[in-house]
Amino acid sequence: MDPIPDGPLYDGPLLDGLRLDGTGPLHAQLLRALRADILQGRLPPGSRLPPTRALAVELGLSRNTVLGAYDQLRAEGFIEARVGSGSRVAQVPHAAPARPQPAPARVAAQTAYARRARERLDLPGIPGRDVPGARWAFQYGVPFANPALTTAWAQALSRAARYTRPHYPSAHGLPALREAICDYLFRRRGVHAAPEDVLVVAGTQQALALTARVLLEPGDEAAIEEPHYNAIRSVLQVHGARLRPVQVDADGLRCDRLPASRPPRLVCVTPSHQFPTGAVMSPSRRLALLDYAQRHGSWIFEDDYDGEFRYGGRPLAALRALDGAGRVIYVGTFSKALYPALRLGYMVLPPGLRDDFVAAKWLEDFGSPAIEQAALAAFIGDGGFERHLRRAARALRERRQALIDGLRACGRGRLELADSNAGMHLTVWLRGRGRADGERLIALARARGLGLYPIAPYYLAPPDRAGLLMGYAGLSVGQIRAGLACFADCLDALDAAP
Ligand SMILES: Cc1ncc(COP(=O)(O)O)c(C=O)c1O
């Protein structure tokens, strides 16, 4: 290190302009602020830093906090201490006045995958269209917030953090969680699965990415519902699959529209609650789809994303429960029942595919986080999860009813509600209006602080109808009513527009 040059002595106000960013521990804030001042030339080499005691008094910090920051700066080589003359800024090679950096130019896409991802994904739009400053946002995918769940989950997590082995977890998933999932699926979804058939994954999204990797060569065909969950479409497209959209009606996927020759290798469906229309796949369609898959050697990706919440009728058995031929990959997620932030879900795999999927998961990330898995296993095992589901289902039922009643009242015949008995969203159509009118309504709502979201992104070829996807899990009954009062004004304003 160069000797410290004789620089200006520090004798002005104590580091005028030093600004702490308010994030994290105080010594770290001070360290960041001083380091930035040195790097950006506001404290040039040779400058004397104020004595720790004086700076502590000036900033209202403890002296230990300042000492800690100085020690760290010294260890990093930014300052040097001299007996009798305190600390000075060292001759740091990169200490130069700040110059605005040009924004880095994006390089050309380096692979076919990156090219497809750029074409398909509108990154600023991920994960959904935000309506900044919305007072009421009927946004799909916002979880049901429950303080009791937060408390219970925090306890489960902290216990798991204390007792979980800190080694790499099994790529397959923690045995305790796989067992808890099997038990839950048997009781709630009629699915018989052995723990070795279950693979713990980072949500439906990873389940589909692994499925594409294990089952589809680029160029292979995958059938998806039309309309469908747009993230499924993106994963398949970016993987390089060719998509075959297949219409849905009130009984779910139109299996008769699946091709008789050149069958797709994969068929992705949401039979318990078609996304986004809400249709439940009828028993005869279920059998027809299973028969098709068996005859043609297709695989079925059964996305059972919100099967936990249903408000009427008996749930039909999952496709997986009827699958005698081992063609169904059943996928569940904790994004709806708990939080999307958890990024935990599971696959129930046909035995013949198990090893390929576990290998793909290992290659991807070595396995899902063990502490969260252990916490979840305990939470399911001690009944906390199902207690939460019962509570959430009661609250969601009330919210859904408030939304339906409110839409009927404010629609005055102008709206059509898709029949749906489950989940956390409703599909709503504006009678006799085209997509442009739907966009106009959304803009009117946005200007009034109301978040409304179009249905069109969930189609490969959207119909020229004004449709909305209305999520209600994140709004209280009071907020839903207030939001719908605003919605009624927007409908009136749309009617009044020339
Ligand atoms: C149809 C469908 N499947 C799955 C999911 C959940 O995905 P993940 O488990 O990756 O959070 C959603 C969430 O919005 C969904 O709408």
Concatenating the DSSP letter of every residue in 218-271 gives TT-EEEEEES--HHHHHHHHHHTPEEEEEEEETTEE-GGGS-SSS--SEEEE-T
One-letter amino acid at 1 equals: M
Probe residue for ligand 1, chosen from 204, 269, 368 as the CB with the greatest number of ligand atoms within 8 Å: 204
Q: Give the tens place of pLDDT for each residue, 77-128.
A: 899 987 777 888 998 765 555 566 777 788 999 999 999 998 887 654 444 5
For residue 190 and ligand 1, the question of a CB distance below 6 A is answered with no
Q: Is-cis flag, bond preceding 227, omega within 30?
A: yes
Q: How far from 432 is each of 413, 437, 470, 485, CA to CA, in Å?
A: 11, 10, 19, 22
**pLDDT the model gives residue 100:** 66
Q: What is the residue type of 130?
A: D
Take atom 6 of ligand 1 and give the residue whose Cα is closest: 204
Q: Which residues, in sequence order, are CB contacts of 225 under 8 Å at separation 6+?
A: 245, 246, 248, 253, 268, 269, 270, 274, 275
CB of 275 within 6 A of ligand 1: the answer is yes
Give me ligand 1 centre to Cα 204, in Å. Answer: 6
Residue 21 φ/ψ, nearest 5 degrees = -90, 0
What is the rounded CA–CA span in Å between residue 479 and residue 466? 24
- Ligand 1 probe mutation, 142, 199, 201, 229, most atoms within 8 A of CB: 229
Cα distances (Å, whole numbers) of residue 187 to 191, 192, 393? 8, 9, 17
- Domains present along the chain, CATH in parentheses: 1-104 (1.10.10.10), 131-142+392-496 (3.90.1150.10), 147-382 (3.40.640.10)
Give the Å distance between the CA of 199 and the centre of ligand 1: 17
Q: Return the pLDDT at 495.
A: 92
Write out residues in the chain with pLDDT < 70, as ranges. Answer: 1-16, 93-100, 122-131
Q: 305 in ligand 1 pocket by Cβ < 6 Å?
A: yes
Q: Cα(237)–Cα(243) distance, rounded to whole angstroms?
A: 7
How confident is the model over 211-269, as pLDDT tens digits? 999 999 999 999 999 999 999 999 999 999 999 999 999 999 999 999 999 999 999 99
What are the tokens at 394? 């009661």
pTM across the whole model: 0.82
**Alpha carbon distances (Å) from 301 to 117, 298, 437, 453:** 22, 10, 35, 27
The residue to which tokens 């760290």 are assigned:
72
**From its phi and psi, is residue 419 left (phi > 0), alpha (psi between -120 and 50) or beta?**
beta
